[in-house]
Amino acid sequence: MSGKNGEIPAGVRIDVWLWAARFYKLRRLASEAVKGGHVEINGLHAKPARTVHIGDTIHIIKQQQAFEVIVRALSDKRGPAPVARTLYEETAESIQRREELAEQRKLHAASSPAPDKRPDKRARRRIIRFQSK
């Protein structure tokens, strides 16, 4: 969890921290998520250069999942996943919400069976026409 030259950083850019904590595979993706408003620090929207400190609460919306984590350590280097998990602690409410959403997705998938066959060309055109309205 050290910075350059082995020193402990006082703060790290949010896009770098999200990348180091393995929420995003590329730093560019983390930066785009922050710019897009998918990341809040202590309840406020952030810019990619915003500094994160130990104890900050970060709300991350990634695809269909929402994470609420508390920063426990800082790092500007991407390491192995077990080390990355030590950088944050996910809140109990966040874990519970994600589990409930996963359960709802499972129920929804079970209630809507897959079609017997793929739509043919005519059916695809009808679907596209219907979706564009």
Q: Which domains are seen in the chain, by residue range?
A: 4-132 (3.10.290.10)
Confidence at residue 25, expressed as pLDDT on a 0 to 100 scale:
95
Residue 119 and residue 81: Cα distance in Å, rounded?
41
Determine the 3-state secondary structure of 8 from DSSP.
coil
Taking only the tens place, the pLDDT of each residue in 44-54 is 999 999 999 99
Please tell me the distance from the alpha carbon of residue 21 to that of residue 119, in angstroms, as a whole number: 42
Q: Is the dihedral of CA 25, 54, 51, 64 positive or negative?
A: positive
Write the pLDDT tens digit of every residue in 33-90. 999 999 999 999 999 999 999 999 999 999 889 999 999 999 999 999 999 999 999 9
- pTM above the 0.95 mark? no
Q: Which helix (H) or strand (E) holds 95?
A: helix 92-111
**Residue 7 in contact with residue 76, Cβ under 8 Å?**
no
3-state secondary structure of 96: helix
pLDDT at 14: 96
Q: Max CA-CA distance within the chain?
A: 64
d(CA 132, CA 19): 37
CA angle 24, 28, 32 (to 5 degrees): 85
CA angle centred on 88, ends 28 and 68, rounded to 5°: 80
